[in-house]
Amino acid sequence: MFWFFIIAALLVVALVFISRALIRKSQNYSPTPSLNDVNSSTKTFKADLFKLQFTENAESYGEKVSQQFDELENKYSAYLQTLNQKFNPSEMTYDRYLQPVQQVQLSLVENFKKLKDVVVFIGHNAAVIKSLHQKSSDALSVDEKNKLEIQKKYLNHFDELFAMNQKALNELDQLNLSLGQITNSSSDPKQIEYLVKELAGLSERAKKYNLH
């Protein structure tokens, strides 16, 4: 009986130490972002882009960016829907067809972040630029000429980013069409080979879509 109480006491002490260790571990645990966190982040960014339409003196630029982002969401969702219809996520083919498109989507999101900054800059400086355009070139100071040059660079950068995004979106459309023509993983090998080549090319171009 004496030994029974000793063993019981030792078990209680051990359980206390284990409990304390688990509590300390749980306090230091930092969970990875859930899918809801990601969706929340996307919704917040989309809301920011929507507000660009009301950027004073840059409303038209903001509207184009907001609408193009909606287009990206729709086309990306359409591709995922087609992919889920054609293949099982557990198949290697599924991941093979998904990764390049994900790379493009991520690159375009980075471009949209830059477009947001460009639109804000254009709107912020529009009034000053408008007044400078009313002067003759001879009447402009060096600083004023620099401001005009910087504004021109930002406008060109907007056009480049927007065009790059649109090109990628058009390719995503074509890719979704090609994927839709595949009936299953045992379809015409030539058809599948064509799609794989398109995906490989898209993956390489994704690096260029993220324009610096």
Name the residue with higher pLDDT: 46 or 68: 68
Do 7 and 49 have their domain in common?
no
Tell me what pLDDT residue 208 has.
65
Count of domains for the chain? 2
Neighbours of 53 (CB within 10 A): 17
Percent of the chain with pLDDT over 90: 25
Do 133 and 102 have their domain in common?
yes
94-153 per-position pLDDT tens digit: 888 888 888 888 888 889 999 999 999 999 988 888 888 888 888 888 898 899 999 999
Do 138 and 168 have their domain in common?
yes
pTM of the predicted model, to two decimals?
0.71
Confidence bin at 32 (pLDDT 50/70/90): very low
Do 137 and 180 have their domain in common?
yes
Do 109 and 190 have their domain in common?
yes
120 CB contacts (<8 Å, ≥6 apart)? 52, 55, 58
Tell me what pLDDT residue 48 has.
86
* SS3 per-residue string spanning 155-187: HHHHHHHHHHHHHHHHHHHHHHHHHHCCCCCCC
d(CA 50, CA 158): 17
Do 93 and 196 have their domain in common?
yes
Do 82 and 153 have their domain in common?
yes
The residue range of the domain holding 205 is 36-209
Percent of the chain with pLDDT over 70: 69
Do 82 and 22 have their domain in common?
no
Do 25 and 55 have their domain in common?
no
